[in-house]
Amino acid sequence: MIDDHVVQYQMDGISTLLWIYFAVLLVTVLSRYFFIFYTNLLGQSVIRDLRDRVFRQINSLRLSYFDKTPIGTSTTRTINDIESVNTVFTQGVITMVADILGIIAVLVIMFITSWRLSLICLTTMPVLLIATYVFKEKIKAAYQSVRTEISKMNAFLQERITGMRVIQIFNAEKQELKKFDEINDRYTSANLRSITAYAIFFPVVELISALSLALMVWWGARGIITDDVSLGALIVFPLYLSMLFRPIRMLADKFNTLQMGMVAAERIFTILDRDTYIEDEGTLAPEKLEGRVQFHDVGFAYDQHNYVLRDINFMIKPGETMAIVGSTGSGKTTIINVLNRFYEIQKGDITIDGHSIREYTLASLRSRIAIVLQDVFLFTGTVLENIRLRDESVSREAVIEAAKMIGAHAFIKQMPDGYDFVISERGNNLSMGQRQLISFVRALVFEPDILILDEATSSIDTETEAVIQYAIEKLIDKRTSIIIAHRLSTIRHADNILVLDKGRVVEHGSHDTLLESEEGAYRRLYEMQFEEVG
């Protein structure tokens, strides 16, 4: 336009070139819209599917993974790290390819327009490449530190907020605030290191760009005098330089974004590649179990070395109730964990109705066994949703019937909105007894064939316990039951009592039979509790 029309005072072709310019500009705007929209759509689609895969994998992992991994770390992997993977698509590979193609196109046009000016402008390129490399290394280290510190912060916050009651009970706010300040300072310092790298690199690039522009003006002005450079080339080259240095400046940042996305992806696939899940290769899926449970020389260790259960042997006949007692750490709850295949045993075998528990599918095995724990976990949602765990196959009428059977219907109806009353996180707006009653209904509404009570009445007051004790006795008459209890007065009705000590069965028999042994472990436990009460 300048060389052929403006300088030559020929205005005829200018209008045509202007229309071409506006047409190209419109195509550029539309192309950029579709580029931004579809790269983000691709990224969001990928991380949506990736979140599903990660959460599905976490659901299938053994409990040993959660014993060793802080909750905040898993949360960081599922949320923050997956968001970092999204940047690989929105700001990483595709945009880097686009920038590289843009740089190549600009260089080609620059050399076609004026190879002399192009060479002069590119004399500063080695300095730019060195600055870009240094920036890339600094920002990579800073970003890795940021990711590590935010994972630690999430884990710390998750644990402290969950245990806030304990912190306030023991007046430990100042100590915990001091610890959080240290973590927060490290996180802030890591971010400041990345900010410092940006604050140095971008002005350096601007300085190099200005130096290239100065060399171009100096050489171009001489070229116009000697007719080696046209006026149009001298005017358009500053635009070329801007189009050249802008993507180069951003490439270093995008390369680090790509690296951080790959680091985050590596952490995510560390979870996805874990094989620490319970194998579900069984084929048996009966609609009902007789309830004959037998342990055959069972040995189990959480760490594969220090055995918690040693040579455990016992049998529960269908419809019988067996109580398990023993000191803390004797292995009572561990027996429940391995029966439900939350952990895999290392020695022996466990059978139900004559079949190894490995022969049953996990879903069918756990659907026929109900557990009522001492520490009741309730989710945010209505009472009805917490009882049936959003299983729409369980009707409202079935829930109400189970609640009446267990004696919980009266207190549920007294709540605002009754069964539609919204429970807060972890059931904090309910008493311990109310939570325990809801857990009883939740266990019984699915009509299990094997019922397990793990210190289920320990958090219930005497009046509430009296309400549900009759219901418990009536329910365990109809199904195989296992009761873990510290209060021995609650297990007198058990058909058999298993006494554990350091992972071994030391006594086995009925309440009256075990009391006959003057030196027996059960009698010692019973007399100790009798003395405490008396």
- The architecture CATH gives domain 293-533: 3-Layer(aba) Sandwich (3.40)
Alpha-helical runs (H) found in 273-371 = 332-339, 362-367
Q: Is the pLDDT of residue 132 over 70?
A: yes
pLDDT of residue 80: 78
pLDDT of residue 458: 61
Mean pLDDT of 82-92: 79
pLDDT of residue 355: 94
Sign of CA dihedral 300, 302, 305, 308: negative
Buried-state track 73-88, b at ≥16 Cβ within 10 A, e below 16:
bbbbbbeebbebbbbb
pLDDT of residue 62: 79
Q: Pick 182 or 8 by higher pLDDT.
A: 182
Q: Which two tokens stand for residue 27?
A: 């195509």
pLDDT digits 0-9 by tens, 372-416: 887 788 888 888 988 888 788 888 898 898 888 877 888 888 888
pLDDT digits 0-9 by tens, 470-519: 667 766 767 899 988 777 767 777 889 999 988 899 998 888 888 887 77
**Three-state DSSP class for residue 501:** strand
pLDDT of residue 360: 94
Q: Is the pLDDT of residue 237 over 80?
A: yes
pLDDT band at 361 (very low <50, low <70, confident <90, very high): very high
Q: Is the pLDDT of residue 465 over 70?
A: no
pTM confidence score: 0.68
pLDDT of residue 72: 73
Q: Is the pLDDT of residue 456 over 70?
A: no
Alpha carbons 451 and 476: distance in angstroms, whole number = 7
Q: Is the pLDDT of residue 23 over 90?
A: yes
pLDDT of residue 292: 93
The domains of the chain are located at: 2-272, 293-533
CATH (one of 3.30.1360.120, 1.20.1560.10, 3.30.70.2660, 1.10.8.60) for 2-272: 1.20.1560.10
The contacts of residue 431 (CB under 8 Å, 6+ apart) are: none
Buried-state track 489-508, b at ≥16 Cβ within 10 A, e below 16:
ebbeebbbbbbbeebebebb
pLDDT band at 181 (very low <50, low <70, confident <90, very high): very high
pLDDT digits 0-9 by tens, 310-352: 999 999 999 999 999 988 888 888 999 999 998 889 999 999 9
Please give the angle made by the CA atoms of 370, 375 and 378, to the nearest 5 degrees. 75
Q: Pick 142 or 316 by higher pLDDT.
A: 316
pLDDT of residue 250: 77
Mean pLDDT of 128-150: 83
Mean pLDDT of 141-146: 82
Percent of the chain with pLDDT over 70: 95
Q: Average pLDDT of the chain? A: 84
Residue 72: how many CA atoms within 13 Å on its side-chain side?
16
pLDDT digits 0-9 by tens, 414-426: 888 888 999 887 7
Q: Is the pLDDT of residue 534 over 60?
A: no
